[in-house]
């Protein structure tokens, strides 16, 4: 799964990278501790162009009467994406890319202590997570999104059994619906060697923590 991540790329650099028109109300960066329900940076396509826009991280199906009317849907499993009532329409028509620099996962000690890890692309490039989105609410609709997850790659499975869907640049157009049909074939774990990771300090266990030190490798000892 993906329950927390970091984004450090400047907004204008994100817009250039994805050849997208940036919105005027994008979330501030850097943010080393993006949490569920926060606004996140999302690339979506339509009307022949891409847009970089803010969306609430936490997908709200149209039948929710309030934002807390059901489970908090921050992730959507690739294996059931096309079947789940909450996601099946978005899977066909409203796929998007959630931009990140890295994400956090946790292991547990025998004593139950949570140990955080920071996971990122080995080549230093930003991460493009496959996502789905949905406008929620009749008056002043709010755009909301969820990150698609797959089974973990062999390396990441030593930390967690699930991971976000990581898209390569050559796949962005297909995922966004610009290159026709066939996006389902992209819903696979990242290739081995794509991601790297290191232990970080337990400060990030708090959703109120902030600062670049959250992603710094934990000193041995």
Region 46-64 average pLDDT: 96
Examine residue 39 and state whether it is found in any structural domain, yes or no. Answer: yes
Q: What pLDDT band is residue 220 in, cutting at 50, 70 and 90? A: low
Computed over every residue of the chain, the mean pLDDT equals: 96
Q: 108-119: per-residue pLDDT in tens?
A: 988 889 999 999
Q: Does a structural domain hold residue 89?
A: yes
Question: Residue 15 sits in which domain range?
Answer: 5-215
How far is Cα 161 from Cα 29, in angstroms, rounded to an integer? 29
pLDDT by residue (tens digit) across 62-81?
999 999 999 999 999 999 99
Task: Please indicate, yes or no, if residue 220 is contained in any of the structural domains.
Answer: no
For 132, left (φ over 0), alpha (ψ -120 to 50), or beta? beta
**221 within domain boundaries:** no
Angle 41-39-62 (CA atoms, 0-180°, nearest 5)? 105
User: What per-residue confidence (pLDDT) applies to 139?
Assistant: 84
In a domain, 192, yes or no: yes
CATH number of 125's domain = 3.90.1680.10
The pLDDT value recorded for residue 221 is 55
- Helix, strand, or coil here: 209? coil
pLDDT at 107 over 60: yes
Q: Is 81 inside a domain boundary?
A: yes
Domain total of the chain: 1
The predicted model gives 176-188 an average pLDDT of: 95
Digit-coded pLDDT (tens) for 18-28:
999 999 999 99
Cβ atoms of residues 6 and 33 within 8 Å: yes
Strands 20-22 and 102-108: unpaired
Helices then strands, counting H and E runs in the chain, come out as 3, 13
DSSP H/E element including 15? helix 11-17
Asked whether residue 110 is assigned to any structural domain, the reply reads yes
**Closest to 76 (Cα-Cα) out of 60, 100, 55:** 60
pLDDT above 90 (res 93):
yes
Q: Is residue 68 domain-resident?
A: yes
Quote the CA–CA distance of 106 and 17 in Å, as a whole number: 30
């Amino acid at each position: 799964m993906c329950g927390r991540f970091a984004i450090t790329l400047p907004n204008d650099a994100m817009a250039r990278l994805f050849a997208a028109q940036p919105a005027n109300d994008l979330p501030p960066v850097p943010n080393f501790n993006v949490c569920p329900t926060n606004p996140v940076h999302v690339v979506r396509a339509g009307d022949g162009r891409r847009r970089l826009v803010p969306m609430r991280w936490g997908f709200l199906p149209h039948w929710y009467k309030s934002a807390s009317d059901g489970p908090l849907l921050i992730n959507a499993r690739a294996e059931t994406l096309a079947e789940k009532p909450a996601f099946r329409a978005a899977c066909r028509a409203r796929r998007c890319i959630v931009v990140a620099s890295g994400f956090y996962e946790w292991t547990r000690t025998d004593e139950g202590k949570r140990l955080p890890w920071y996971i990122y692309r080995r080549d230093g490039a930003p991460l493009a997570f496959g996502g789905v989105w949905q406008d929620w609410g009749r008056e002043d609709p709010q755009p909301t999104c969820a990150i698609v997850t797959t089974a973990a790659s062999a390396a990441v499975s030593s930390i967690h059994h699930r991971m976000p869907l990581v898209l390569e640049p050559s796949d962005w157009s297909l995922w966004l619906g610009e290159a026709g049909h066939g996006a389902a074939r992209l819903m696979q774990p990242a290739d081995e060697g794509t991601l790297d990771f290191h232990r970080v300090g337990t400060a990030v266990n708090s959703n109120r923590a902030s600062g670049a030190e959250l992603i710094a490798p934990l000193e041995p000892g």
